[in-house]
């Protein structure tokens, strides 16, 4: 029996700390190692407590980083410390890319927020 898998998402589990500024830079490349041109893409990441939950812990629109050669493969995720003031725990997230109306999930995984002492 033949099958096809259209799910291109890669799993990346993330651990961070409550009330700390969240900064993550991701470099995207094709199978030959060439940076993917992210021009024209829109990215969105949601962090939720469960797959079907309407309770969004964090959601953010992400803009690809532009350099002299255009927008090549580099995506920076920034969430302010005040927006990271959420209950410590284990959540799920995904990162979706939209280009010309086509939505594709590129990453997903567990999003762990460790508790903090200082605030």
36 CB-side CA count, 13 A? 15
Query: What integer pLDDT is reported at residue 57 of this predicted model?
Result: 67
* Distance separating alpha carbons of residues 106 and 64, to the nearest angstrom: 14
Q: Is residue 119 part of a domain?
A: no
* Total tally of structural domains belonging to the chain: 1
Query: What integer pLDDT is reported at residue 76 of this predicted model?
Result: 83
Q: pTM score, two decimals?
A: 0.82
Q: Is residue 43 part of a domain?
A: yes
pLDDT, one tens digit per residue, over 78-93 is 888 888 888 899 999 9
CB 49 within 8 A of CB 67: no
Q: Is residue 4 part of a domain?
A: no
Q: Is residue 1 part of a domain?
A: no
pLDDT, one tens digit per residue, over 25-78 is 888 888 898 888 888 888 888 888 876 666 666 666 666 665 555 567 888 888
Which CATH number do you get for residue 56? 2.60.40.10
* Distance separating alpha carbons of residues 22 and 25, to the nearest angstrom: 10
For residue 106, what are the domain limits? 10-114
Q: Is residue 84 part of a domain?
A: yes
Q: Is residue 72 part of a domain?
A: yes
């Amino acid at each position: 029996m033949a099958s096809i898998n259209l799910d291109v998402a890669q799993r990346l589990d993330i651990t961070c700390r409550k009330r700390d500024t969240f900064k993550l830079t991701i470099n995207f490349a094709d199978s030959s190692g060439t940076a993917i041109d992210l021009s024209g893409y829109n990215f969105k990441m949601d962090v939720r407590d469960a797959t079907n939950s309407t309770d969004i812990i964090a959601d953010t629109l992400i803009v690809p980083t532009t350099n002299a050669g255009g927008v090549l493969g580099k995506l920076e995720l920034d969430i302010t410390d005040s927006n990271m003031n959420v209950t410590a725990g284990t959540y799920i997230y995904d990162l979706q890319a939209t280009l010309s109306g086509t939505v594709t999930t590129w990453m997903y995984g567990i999003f762990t927020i460790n508790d903090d002492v200082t605030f």
